[in-house]
Structure 1
Amino acid sequence: MNPAIPARPTFVVPVLAFCGVVVAVMQTLVVPLLPHVPELTGSTPAAAGWLVTVTLLTGAVFTPVLGRVGDLYGKRRVLLASLWVLTAGSVLCAVSSDIGVLITGRALQGAALAVIPLGVSIIRDELPAERVLPSIALMSSSLGIGAAVGLPVAALVVEHFDWHTMFWASAGLGLLDVLLVLRIVPASSQRAPGRFDTVGALGLAATLVGLLLVVTQGPEWGWAAPRTLGLLAGSVLVGLAWGRYELRHSSPMVDLRVSARPAVLLANVAALLIGFAFYANSLVTAQLVQEPVTTGYGLGASIVESGLCMLPGGLAMVALSPVSARLSARYGPRTALAVAAAVMAAGYVVRFFTSHSLWPIVAGATVVASGTAIAYSALPALVMQAAPVSETGAANGLNTLMRSVGQACCSTVVTVVLAHVTFRAGGREAPTLHAYLLIFLIAGGTALAALGAALLLPARRPVRSQDRRRSPRPAAQESA
C-alpha cells in the first residue's frame, strides 16, 4: 500500500481538526499563567507579556508564508513541519524557567498557526465537493473550540501541578498530531506553478512585524514616542515598496491582484473585524468574573471557574459547525457570514445588559461564540469561492492573518480601556464596570461593521471551469 494514501480516509477531517484544536490550545496556554510569570521566572510583567505577543508576531508572519510554501511544495509536508516546530517550542518551554528561552519557545509555537489554513487547503484538495463545506466548518471552528477548552484546562494545571506540565502536555499533543498526520492525511497532488518569492516573504515579514509591534506595544511605549512613530513610518514605507515589488513579480508571495478582488478584499476585512469581536469575548470574560466582590460588580471567581465560563461557548462551536456548513451550502457563505456577524452583535447586546451575575455572563459569551463558529466556517468558503485552486493555501493564510491582526488590535484596545477607565476598590486600582461595558459596545460595533462588509460582498461569483474540475491525482505523490 502506498504510505502516502491514508488507510482510513474517513478520519482525515477529524485529524486535521484535532491539529487545529491543539494549535488553539497552545495559543491560550499561558493566559492563566501570566500573572505569576514574573515571580516564577524572575522577570518583569512587560517581559511576561511577550509570551503572548511573540506568538502573535510569528503566527502573523508564518501563516501566509507557509500557506504559500504549501501551495508550491506540498501542504502535508509543510503541515508536518509546522507541527514539529510546535512540538520543539513546547519542549523548550517545558525544560526551562528562563524568560528568554520561554519567549523563544513561544515564538516557535506561534509559527504553528499556519496549521489552520493548511488544513483547509488539504480538505479542498482531497475531499469530494459535497463534503468540503461541512469539513471546512469543523476545521475553521477548531480555533475557537481549542481556545475555549484550553483556558480551563490550563487553569487546572496552574492550580494543581507544576506549571511546566502544561508545556510537556503541549509537546505530547504536538507529537501525537505528527503521528496522526503521517498515518491518516494524504499527500496532496495539487501544486501551484512558480517558485518561492524570498524577497516578497521578507518584505511581508518586515511590514507585519513593524505594524504589529506598533499596535501591541504602542500603549507601553507611548503613541507619540519616537520609536513608535519611526517604526510605523518604516513599516509603511517597506509595505509600499513590498507591494510594488509583488505587483511586478511573476510568482509573488501574495497575489495582490487576487487580493484586490472585492470578494477577497471584503472577506479579509470581515476576517479582521470578526477576529476583533471574537477576541474581546475571550479576553474580557475571565477577567470580568475574577474581579473581586469589593468592586461592586465582580464575582471573585477562581482561575478555574473563570476558564470554565468559556467552555459552553466551545461546545456551542462544536455543535454549530455542521449547522454553519448547511447554512453556507443552502444560502451561500455570504449569507452565513452576515448571520454570524448579527449573532455576535446580539451577543454583545446581551453582555452589555447582563454583566452582574454569572449565568447571564456565560449566556452572553456563548451567544458570541456561536456567531464566531458560523463566521469562522463561512470565511474560508468565501475565500475559496474567489481564489484560484493553486492559491488556496496563500489566500486562506492571508485571511487567517487578518483574523490575527484583528485580535492584536482588540488586545490593545482592551488593555488601554481597562488600564485607563479605573477606580479605587479594596485598596487597589481596578477597572470600572463601565470599562467592560465600553469594550462590549466597541466589540458589538465591530461585529456590526463585519455585517456591513458581508452585505457588500458579491452575492455570487460564477465558478470557473478549471475550479469546478478536480485534477486527476498523479500516481506519484509527494513524500512526507
Structure 2
Amino acid sequence: MPPPKLLPTLLLLTTVGGIVSSLGASLVPRIARELDVPLTSAQWTLTATMIAAAVSTPLIGRYAVAHRRRTMIVTGLGVVIAGTVLSALAIEISALGLPVLIAGRAAQGIGMAMAPLAMAVARDVFPPERVSSVMAVLSVGMVAGAGVGYPLAALVAQVGGLAAAFWFGTIISLLTLMLSARYVPPAPFAAPAPVNVTDALLLGAGTVALLLGVSRTTSWGWDDPRTITLLATGSAAVALWVRVSLARANPLVDLRLAFTTAAAGPNIAGLLAGAGMYMGLTLLMVLVQTRTAEGWGLGSSVLVAGLLLVPYSVMSVLGSRVSLLVGRYVDPARVLPFGCAIYLISTVFLAFRHDRIWHAVVAMVVAGLGSGGTFATLPVLLVRVVPVAETSSALAFNQVLRYFGFAVGSALVVTVLTLASGGPTPTERGFVVASLLNAAVWVVAIAAICGFGRRARLPPGGPDSRPG
C-alpha cells in the first residue's frame, strides 16, 4: 500500500507547476511598469517559462526512467527554487534587471515538467483499481494550482511587492521538495533510456531564436538584419532538429507517430489551443491593468487581474468534467470542436465588449469552459488512435506541444498588440486586432480537428485491442 501522504505529495507536485506559471501571467504588465521596459520585453518572463517547460519535459522524462525518477524530481524542484530566488533578487536588486529575471523564470519552467513524473509514480505505486481516479485528480492539479496561484500571487504582489510574489513561490516549491524527498518512493531499477541532449538544445535554441525574432519586430522592424538573422537561425535550427529526430532510432520526440498518423489532429489542435489559450489570458491581463489617456482599459490592480482568473480555472475544471461525461455517449472527436468553439465565442465577445469588469468575467467563464473541454478531450482522442505501447510517449508529446503553444501565443499576441497599437502603449484598436487574431487561431484549430478527424481510426485490432 502507498503511504498515506503520497497522494497529497503528488498532488502538490503537479500543482506547483500551475502555481509557478501563475507568477508570470498576471504580473507581466506590472513588471513592464516597475522595470520600465516594453510590454514585449516583459512578456518574456512568461514566454521563457513556457519554452523551458516544453524543452525540459521530454528530456527530464527520459532521464527520470525508473530508478532515477525521485532524483530527477528533487533535482528539478531544486532548479525551480533557484529560479524563484533569482527572480526575487532581480526585482530587489535593480542592477540585475530583466535578463536575470527572465533567466529565473526560465528555471521555474522546470516545475511544469514535474506533472508527468508525478503521474508515472501514481501509475507504478497505486493499485490498479485506484489508478484511474488518482490520475483524474492529478490531471487537474495544474489547473487547480493556477486557480490558487493567480489570486495568491496577485495578493502577495499587491501587499508586499513583486519580489514577495517570487519569495512566495520559493516557499511553496521548497515545501514540495521536502515532501517529495520524504514520501516519493524509489522505483525499481531499469535500463537507462537513451537521452539525446543535442535534440533538446536544437529545439530550444530554434524556438528561442524564432520567438525572439518575432517579438523584436516591434522595435527593429521586419527588414532589420538582426530580425532576419534571428528568424533564419531559428528556422534552420528547427529544420535540423526535425531532420535529426527523423533519422534517430530513439528520438527525443517521435515525429512520425505524432504527425503522420491519426494522432496528427489532436496534436495540431493541442498546439493551436495552447497558443490560443495564452493569447486570451495575456490580453485579459493587459485589458484589466491598462488605463490609457484616451480612457481605454479597466485600470484595475494586479489583485483584481488575479481574481479574474479564478473563474477561468474553476470553469476549466468543470468543462473538463462535462466533456468527459458527454464523451461517454458522443464520439470525443465530435466533442473537441465544440470545446474550441466555446473558447472562440469568448474571444469574439471580448473583442467587442470590454468596457466593464463584468465583460471580462463573462469572457473568462466562457473561456474556462472551452479550455477545460478542449484539453480534457485531447488525451481521450490520442489514447484511441495510437498503439498501446506508444500511449505514454504520445501523451507526453501532446503536453509538450501545449507548452510550445503557450510560448508561441504568449510572444505572438504581445507583438501583434504592440504593432497594431502603433507603439509600446496598448490601445483599443490594438486590443481588438489581437483578439480577432486569437479568434482566427481557434478557427484554424477547429478546421484542423474536423479535417484530420475524417481520417482518424482506431489502432489495428479495433477498439478491443486497447485495455478497458
Confirm or deny a common fold (TM above 0.5). Answer: yes
CA distance in 2, matches of 1:265, 1:132: 27
1:271 CA drift (Å): 1.0
Mapping for residues 79-478 of structure 1, pairs under 5 Å: 79-95=73-89, 97=93, 98-99=96-97, 100-122=99-121, 136=135, 138-182=137-181, 184-185=183-184, 194-292=193-291, 295-387=294-386, 394-422=393-421, 431-455=426-450, 456-457=452-453, 458-462=455-459, 468=466
Q: Deviations over 1:333-367 (max 9, x none)?
A: 43342231121122224324432222232012111
| Alpha-carbon RMSD | 3.6
Residue 8 (structure 1) aligns with? 4
CA distance in structure 2 between the aligned counterparts of 1:223 and 1:77, rounded to whole angstroms = 45
- Please point out which of 40, 46, 52 is paired with 1:52: 46
Q: Which amino acid aligns with 1:104?
A: A
Indicate whether 1:69 and 2:63 are aligned: yes
* Structure 2 unaligned regions, length at least 5: none
1:179 to 1:64, Cα distance in 2 relative to 1, 3 A: same
Shift in alpha-carbon separation, 1:71–1:344, aligned structure 2, 3 A: farther
What is the aligned partner in structure 1 of residue 16 from structure 2? Answer: 22
Q: In structure 2, do the counterparts of structure 1 residues 45 and 419 end up closer, same or farther at CA, with 3 Å as the change threshold?
A: closer
Q: Could you tell me how far 1:278 is from its partner in structure 2? A: 1.0
* SS of corresponding position for 1:462: coil
- The runs of 5 or more residues in structure 1 that have no matched partner are 471-480
Q: Cα 1:273–1:177, aligned 2, differ >3 Å: closer, same or farther?
A: same
CA distance in 2, matches of 1:105, 1:301: 27
Distance 1:469 1:137, change over 3 A: closer
1:181–1:391: structure 2 CA closer, same or farther, 3 Å change rule? Answer: farther
Deviation at 1:132, TM superposition (A): 6.0
Q: In 2 relative to 1, CA 469–348 (structure 1 residues): closer, same or farther, beyond 3 Å? A: closer
CA contact (8 A) 2:29 2:285 kept: no
The amino acid that maps onto 1:292 is R
Cα shift readout 1:381-405 (whole Å, capped 9, x = no counterpart): 3334444566555433432232233
For 1:342 and 1:133, the matched residues in 2 are separated by 28
CA distance in 2, matches of 1:355, 1:257: 43
Task: State the Cα deviation string for residues 119-163 of structure 1 (Å, max 9, x = none).
Answer: 455555566777666655554444444334433322222221143
SS at match of 2:162: coil
Structure-2 change in CA distance of 1:93 and 1:199 (3 Å): closer
Distance 2:465 2:75 in 1: 28
- Report the alpha carbon displacement of residue 239 of structure 1 after superposing the two structures with TM: 3.1
Q: Cα distance 1:439–1:142, how it changes in 2: closer, same or farther (>3 A)?
A: farther
The answer (yes or no) to whether the contact 1:73–1:191 under 8 Å persists in 2 is yes
Deviates more, 1:14-23 or 1:302-311: 14-23
Q: Say which is worse superposed, 212-221 or 83-92, in terms of deviation.
A: 212-221
Distance 1:382 1:445 in 2: 23
Aligned length: 460
Call closer, same or farther: CA 1:194–1:34 in 2, change over 3 Å.
closer
Q: Is the 8 A contact 2:214 2:412 kept in 1?
A: no
TM-score between both structures, scaled by the size of structure 2? 0.83
CA distance in 2, matches of 1:335, 1:226: 46
Relative to structure 1, the CA distance from residue 367 to residue 126 in structure 2 (aligned partners, 3 Å threshold; closer, same or farther) is farther
**Which moved further from structure 2: 250-259 or 397-406?**
397-406
Residue type of the alignment partner of 1:78: M
Q: Matches of 2:67 and 2:242 in 1, distance apart?
A: 24
CA contact (8 A) 1:141 1:376 kept: no
Secondary structure of the residue aligned to 2:77 is helix
Q: Which whole-Å CA distance do the structure 1 matches of 2:401 and 2:409 have between them?
A: 12
2:59–2:197: 8 Å Cα contact kept in structure 1?
no
CA distance in 2 between counterparts of 1:145 and 1:153 reads 12
Contact 1:57 1:212 in 2 (8 A): no
User: What is the identity, as a one-letter code, of the residue corresponding to 1:207?
Assistant: G
**Percent identical across equivalent pairs?**
32
Deviations, residues 95-133 of structure 1 (Å, cap 9, x unaligned): 552235433322211222212343455555566777666
SS of alignment partner, residue 254 of structure 1: coil
What is the SS of the residue equivalent to 1:399? helix
Q: Are the equivalent residues in 2 in contact too, given 1:333–1:382 (CA < 8 A)? A: yes
Change (3 A) 1:201 1:414: closer
Q: Are residues 43 and 104 of structure 1, via their aligned partners in 2, closer, same or farther at CA, if it must alter by over 3 Å?
A: same
Change in Cα spacing, 1:221 to 1:128, as seen in structure 2 (3 Å) is: farther
Deviation at 1:304, TM superposition (A): 1.5
1:414, distance to aligned residue in structure 2 (A): 2.5
TM-aligned CA deviation for residue 89 of structure 1:
1.7
Q: Is the 8 A contact 1:287 1:306 kept in 2?
A: no
Give how far 1:183 is off: 5.0
Contact 1:85–1:111 under 8 Å retained in 2: yes
1:192, CA displacement in angstroms?
8.1
Q: Distance in 1 between matches of 2:319 and 2:177?
A: 27
